[in-house]
Amino acid sequence: MVTAHHRPALGPALAVQGRVVFALLMREVLTRYGRHNIGFLWLFVEPMLFTLGVTVLWSLTKSLHGSTIPITAFALTGYSSVLLWRNMPGRCINAVEPNRSLFYHRHVRLPDIFAARLLLELGGATMSFILLGVIFCGLDLLEPPEDLLTVMTGWGLLAWFGMALALLLGTLSLRSELVEKLWHPFSYLTFPLSGAAFMVDALPRDVQDLALYLPMVDGVEMVRDGYFGSYAHAHYDAGYLVAVSLILSLLGLSLLMLSRNLVTVDG
């Protein structure tokens, strides 16, 4: 008979895993960005530069974006959203190989590797989005969000979608190298379809419903609805985005449980 005295305490166990994830996150920062120059600041400076470059380019070329939205706000919300969800799967695919030796430590597990990488991508994309928004507002290039809660909700749902997709593809990559080979071209092909470069309202009516079948389009539209709802009419289904993210999460977690025996220290 198992008594309460012999049951593992949940609190201390979670604290240990929290320290493990934090240590892996710090290791990932140092491995990716190093200790020289600005070091870990590249965590959010890098996506900031990408977003800023696209904003300047679109502003100079006066790109058509199908609405009366200021181009700076259009570029910021669009490209930042793409960086949020698209980078996560790329970091989780084949994430085991460079960290395989860490599995010698009994507290380091596959979910910890994924969690550290996902938190790093989430933090970098979010910080760049916030800082660029503040800077552009300070330069009078951008108006503050009309509905901050809607922006935060849309951003959170996009992050959930990116994490769920990353978890699924990351675990699938343990079983087949084709996942990595197919993801890179697929991620580039989805960029023009992701909602970053267009508003759904500007599309032909018979195309609008088709566009919203792509979950990331719903997320981008929701972020833009919170940012400048009075400038344009946004189309999105938050329930659909939640449903897709939930299904991806369940599939990813199920595969993760089945993949624990595939990860060994000696490969």
Give the number of other Cβ atoms within 10 Å of residue 259's Cβ.
Answer: 17
Binned at pLDDT 50, 70 and 90, residue 66 comes out as: very low
Q: Check residue 38 and give its pLDDT.
A: 58
Q: Check residue 251 and give its pLDDT.
A: 95
pLDDT tens string 222-251? 999 988 877 778 889 999 999 999 999 999
Q: Check residue 9 and give its pLDDT.
A: 67
Q: Check residue 58 and give its pLDDT.
A: 67
| Mean pLDDT along residues 87-109 | 78
**Percent of the chain clearing pLDDT 70 (strictly above):** 79
| Mean pLDDT along residues 146-175 | 93
Lowest-pLDDT range of 41-45, 84-88, 130-134, 142-146: 41-45
- What are the residues whose beta carbons fall under 8 Å from the beta carbon of 208, sequence distance 6 or more? 200, 201, 235
* CA dist list (Å): 27 to 1, 31, 35, 44, 122: 42, 6, 11, 17, 16
HSE value, Cβ hemisphere, 13 Å, CA-based, for 128: 28
Binned at pLDDT 50, 70 and 90, residue 267 comes out as: very low
Q: Check residue 28 and give its pLDDT.
A: 77
8 Å CB contact between 89 and 169: yes
Q: Is the pLDDT of residue 158 over 80?
A: yes
The most confident of the ranges 94-108, 113-127, 152-166, 186-200 is 152-166
**Percent of the chain clearing pLDDT 90 (strictly above):** 24
Continuous H helices in 3-109:
10-33, 42-61, 71-92
State which amino acid sits at residue 209.
Answer: D
Dist. CA 57–CA 101, nearest whole Å:
43
Q: Is the pLDDT of residue 149 over 80?
A: yes
State which amino acid sits at residue 149.
Answer: L
54 vs 194: which has the higher pLDDT:
194
Q: Check residue 161 and give its pLDDT.
A: 96
| Mean pLDDT along residues 41-62 | 68
> What pTM was computed for the model?
0.83
84 vs 231: which has the higher pLDDT:
84
Using CB atoms within 10 Å of the CB of residue 104, give its burial: 0 to 12 exposed, 13 to 18 middle, 19+ buried: exposed
Q: Check residue 8 and give its pLDDT.
A: 54
Q: Check residue 218 and give its pLDDT.
A: 94
The whole-chain average pLDDT of the chain stands at 81
Using CB atoms within 10 Å of the CB of residue 145, give its burial: 0 to 12 exposed, 13 to 18 middle, 19+ buried: buried
**Given the structure tokens 């769920």, which residue do they identify?**
164
